[in-house]
Structure 1
Amino acid sequence: MAKQISDLKLGILGGGQLGRMLIQEAINYNLTTLVLDPDHDAPCKHLANTFECGSITDFDTVYKFGKKVDVITIEIEKVNIEALEQLEKEGKQVYPQSRVIRLIQDKGVQKQFFKENDIPTAPFQLANSREEMITSNFPYPYMLKQRKDGYDGKGVMRINSVADLDHAFTSPCLMEELVDFEKEIAVIVARNANGDVKTFPLVEMEFNAEANLVEFLISPSTYPEPIQARAEAIAVQIAEALNITGLLAVEMFITKDGRILVNELAPRPHNSGHHTIEGNYVSQFEQHLRSIFNLPLGDTRTVTNAVMINLLGEKGHDGVARYQGLEKILAIDGVYVHLYGKKYTKPFRKMGHVTIIDQNREAAIEKANFIRNTLKVIS
C-alpha cells in the first residue's frame, strides 16, 4: 500500500469479542478503527475510534459504512455480501474477499467446495426441505446442519432415525455422516495479498457437549509430527484454493483410524486461536492485521504450553454478570484473564476466556481444570 498502516482506517463489521481483541492489537499499529454493530452496548463500543450502531446485514448501512474506511474486515460471517461486492467494485479493499464470505456463509456450498478441491471431509447430502430428508436414503444416524445462519453450536442437531425428523429444521440443510472421531483439532492459517502463507501449530479442542462450544483448548498438540504436518498442509491447500487474503480457521476431526476430515471454516480470527495472545510469538489478531494490510507475516511458533478455557455463562443465570472465583484464579502463576465487556450474562453466553501458560504441559492442564471448576460467570 502507498500509505502507511497508521494512516489508514480499518472498518470492522461486528463489534463482539473478536472485534474487541482485534482492536486491542490494532492500537499497537496506531490504526484508526471504525466498528458497525447492531448492539448499542457491543464489546467494541468503548475501544473503537468510531462506533456506529446499525445492521450489518442491511445493504445501505453496510455500504455507507464501507465508504468511510480504507480496508473492511469482519468478525462474523453473517453480513450483507451484496454491499461488500459493490464496495469491491468501487475499489474498496474487503478482506476476506466477499466471494470467500459468500461461500462460507452456506455450509452446503462450503462442503461442495471441499469435494471439488479434493479436501477430505465427511460424506454429505443436501436437502432443501424436511420432505427431502424423509425420502432420502442417507444412512442414520447423521448430523443435520442448517446451511445458513448456524453459529456457536446453533443450527446443528443429531438425527438418529426418521422419527427425529418430526422436529428437524425446515430450512435448507446439510446431512452429514456422523464421524466417529477421536479428537477435534484446528489449524489457523494466514495468507496475505502477496501469497505468503503461514500456519499456526495444530491445537486440540474439547467441546461443551450441551452447548456445542469450544470449552477447552490445548496448544501445542502432542499428535505425531506426520499428523500435524498433514493437518497444516490441508489448511494451506484450502487457503490457496480460496485465494483468501486474511486469516482462516480450519476445524477438523481426527478419526479413530487416523484420518483427518475437515469440518468447517471460519474466515476470521477464531475461538481456536485465542491462546496465541500469550502462547505464540505472534497472536492470531496481529497476524490477521498483517495479512489484510499485506505486511510480512509474523512468527507463529509456540512460546510455551498454553491451555485456553472459554468462560461461559452458567446455567440458571440471566442478568448482570458477576465473576465468582476471580481472585482465587489470579493467585495462580501463568494465568491471563480476558473479559469481553459484556454487561449481561445468560446460559452458555461467551463472556471471556482464560489462558494458562506453563513450561510443563501437565501443570498447565492441572491449573486449567482448577480454573474451570473455580471461576463461574453468574448473575
Structure 2
Amino acid sequence: MQQKKVGILGGGQLGRMLISPAIDLDIELHFLENDSDAPCSTVSRNFHKGNIIDYQDVLDFGRKMDIISIEIEKVSADALEQLEKEGKKVFPQSAIIRLIQDKRLQKQFYKDNQIPTSDFVLIDDKEELINYLSKNQDKFPIVQKLGKDGYDGKGVQILKNLEDAKQNGFDAPSLLEEKVDIEKEISVIVARNEKGEIAVFDAVEMVVNEKYNLLDYLLAPANITESQKEESVRLAREVIEKLGNKEGIDGMVGLLAVELFIPKNNDQQGAILVNEVAPRPHNSGHHTIEASTTSQYAQHLRSIMNLPLGKTTLRSSAAILNLIGEENHTGKPFYEGLDKLLDLENVYPHIYGKKITKPARKMGHITILGNDIESLKEKIDKVKGSIRVITR
C-alpha cells in the first residue's frame, strides 16, 4: 500500500486515539485544530493550527491531503464539498456531514426513509414552541433538541410543562421529540468502505449520567435478546447504506455510531428506535481498543482508505467508564488515585492529555475487561471510587 496523507479535522481525544492504528498501517495522519493545547498537539508532529469551521482554513489544509476525514461533526461542510469538486476524497462525504450536523435534517431523513424513530415536530423559534405546546399540553414531558451545535448532552432538555417551556425553551431552530419510556439505550457501530463492504460491532448498553446528560458507563455486549441484536444490526446497516441516497451518494463511507432506544413494552410494542448517529469514532466504541479483534479507530482508517474491514469479534466482555472533571475543580488536572487504579487487573486507563479540567469535562476513560457482565458491574463501582480528576 502506498503511503497516503490523511487529514483529520479536529485534534481532540478521538483523533489522538487514531494515531496508534495509523502507525501500524504506516498512514501519515495530519490534524487541523484551532486549540494549540488540544490532545493531538503533544503526540503528533503533523499538528496544524487552523479553524475547522473556517472555509479557507479547511480548504487550504485539505488541498495538501490525499484523503480528508473528521473526528468531530462541527466542521466546514462547504469547504469539504469544494474539496470533493476538486477531486479530493472526503469521508464521510460532505453531504452526509451536512445532514448529520443538523438534528432536524437527521430526523427528517429517518422519516423519509421509513427508519423507525420517535415522533417529532420541527420548531423554528420560541414563539412557535409556545404556540405548539399551548395547544398540545398532553405532550408533556417532551424533549427539545437544538437543530445545530448540541454536543455531550448540551442543547438537549426535557420540558416538563408550559411554564418550563416559557422560561427555558430554546429560542432557535429545534425539534420537539416524544419522550420515549426507555428500557435500554444501546449503540451499534458500523463501518463501510468504498467497495460497499460493511462490518458491524456488537451492540453495547449505555447508562447515562442523568445529572450531566452524558455517558456514565457502558457494558459490552448489551444484555438484549437475540431478536433485538439482529434488529439493531439490521438498522445500523440500513442507516449507513441509505445515508446520502438523495444526494446521489452510494451509501456512507467511514465509521458510524448509531444510538438506539429500546422502549418499554408500550404502544410501540418494543420496537427499536433510532435516536441519533455520529459519523466518526464514538464514546460507545472506546472498549474496542482492548476488547475487540479490531478497534473502532483502526476500522475508521480501514474504511476511509478502502481497505478490507477488520473482524469485529468481541474477545472479552468489557465496560467503559467516563473519567470526568470533579465539581468545583477548574484548572490544571491531577488524577488522584491513578496509582491505585494501575494496580487493578484488567483495568486500562486512557487519559486524553487535556491541559485544563472543568466540572463534567471528559478527561479520559477507563476500560475494564471481565468474564461476564455481572462481575464487570461489581468492578465498575470499585473503579469509580478509586480515581478523581481534581486540581490541587
TM-score w.r.t. length of structure 1: 0.97
Q: Percent identity?
A: 51
Aligned-pair distance for 1:183? 1.2
Is the aligned partner of 1:292 residue 2:304? Answer: yes
Provide the alpha-carbon RMSD of the alignment: 0.9
Preserved CA contact (<8 Å) 1:183 1:255: yes
Q: Which residue of 2 aligns with 1:272?
A: 284
Preserved CA contact (<8 Å) 1:33 1:49: no
> What are the Cα deviations for residues 230-259 of structure 1, in whole angstroms up to 9, with x where unaligned?
011000000000110000000011111122
CA distance in 2, matches of 1:30, 1:52: 20
The correspondence of residues 347-358 of structure 1 with structure 2, limited to 5 A, is 347-358=359-370
TM-score w.r.t. length of structure 2: 0.94
In structure 2, runs of 5+ residues without a counterpart are 244-250
Is the aligned partner of 1:106 residue 2:106? Answer: no
Q: Which moved more, 1:35-44 or 1:353-362?
A: 353-362
Aligned-pair distance for 1:339? 0.5
Preserved CA contact (<8 Å) 1:189 1:198: yes
Is the aligned partner of 1:126 residue 2:138? Answer: no
> What are the Cα deviations for residues 305-347 of structure 1, in whole angstroms up to 9, with x where unaligned?
1001010101111010001111112111101110001121000
Amino acid at match of 2:120: F
Is the aligned partner of 1:26 residue 2:22? Answer: yes
Q: Which residue of 2 aligns with 1:224?
A: 225
Q: Which residue of 2 aligns with 1:214?
A: 215
Is the aligned partner of 1:177 residue 2:146? Answer: no
Q: Which residue of 1 aligns with 2:275?
A: 263
Following TM superposition, where does structure 1 have runs of at least 4 consecutive aligned residues deviating by more than 6 angstroms?
none
Q: Classify the secondary structure of the residue corresponding to 1:52.
A: strand
Q: Which moved more, 1:121-130 or 1:29-38?
A: 29-38
Preserved CA contact (<8 Å) 1:32 1:49: no
Q: Which residue of 2 aligns with 1:81?
A: 77
2:262 pairs with one of 245, 254, 257? 254
> What are the Cα deviations for residues 102-140 of structure 1, in whole angstroms up to 9, with x where unaligned?
000000000000001111100000010111111114422
Amino acid at match of 1:273: G
> What are the Cα deviations for residues 52-93 of structure 1, in whole angstroms up to 9, with x where unaligned?
111111100000000111010001100001100000000000
CA distance in 1, matches of 2:382, 2:276: 31
Is the aligned partner of 1:64 residue 2:60? Answer: yes
Aligned-pair distance for 1:161? 1.4
CA distance in 2, matches of 1:70, 1:34: 11
Aligned-pair distance for 1:353? 0.4
Q: Which residue of 1 aligns with 2:142?
A: 142
Q: Classify the secondary structure of the residue corresponding to 2:236.
A: helix
Preserved CA contact (<8 Å) 1:35 1:44: yes
Preserved CA contact (<8 Å) 2:129 2:169: no
Aligned-pair distance for 1:24? 2.1
Amino acid at match of 2:260: M
Aligned-pair distance for 1:270? 0.2
Q: Which residue of 2 aligns with 1:200?
A: 201
2:252 pairs with one of 225, 244, 247? 244
Aligned-pair distance for 1:369? 1.5
Q: Which residue of 2 aligns with 1:160?
A: 160
Preserved CA contact (<8 Å) 2:259 2:274: yes
> What are the Cα deviations for residues 252-306 of structure 1, in whole angstroms up to 9, with x where unaligned?
1111112211110000000000000011100000000110000111110100110
Aligned-pair distance for 1:364? 2.1
Q: Which residue of 2 aligns with 1:304?
A: 316
Aligned-pair distance for 1:30? 1.4
Amino acid at match of 1:239: I
